Amino acid sequence: MTNFLVKHFVRNYQNTEDLEVRTAYGILAGHLGNTMSVAGGIVVGAIVYAILVLVLRIVSKDDLSLMPKGDKIAKLLHIK
């Protein structure tokens, strides 16, 4: 994925001796690393939250009935 981004967003990407190319690499790597770290953390947090909600039975059938297709979701998750 990194190679794809470098080829499309860094002009003259093969000339790594050029200061502009090296600067573009650094900026791209810095932003890409931070973005991937934040996105990964959000995904992991959402998965853990969803698992805990199901395991601890925090959501009741009444809560789900307020959602569209909530009765079907309650049946699927065996929530009484």
User: Using 50, 70 and 90 to split pLDDT, how confident is the model at 1?
Assistant: low
CB 12 within 8 A of CB 18: yes
Task: Check pLDDT > 70 for residue 73.
Answer: yes
This prediction has a pTM of 0.58
Distances (CA, A) of 22 to 8, 16, 30, 65: 15, 6, 12, 56
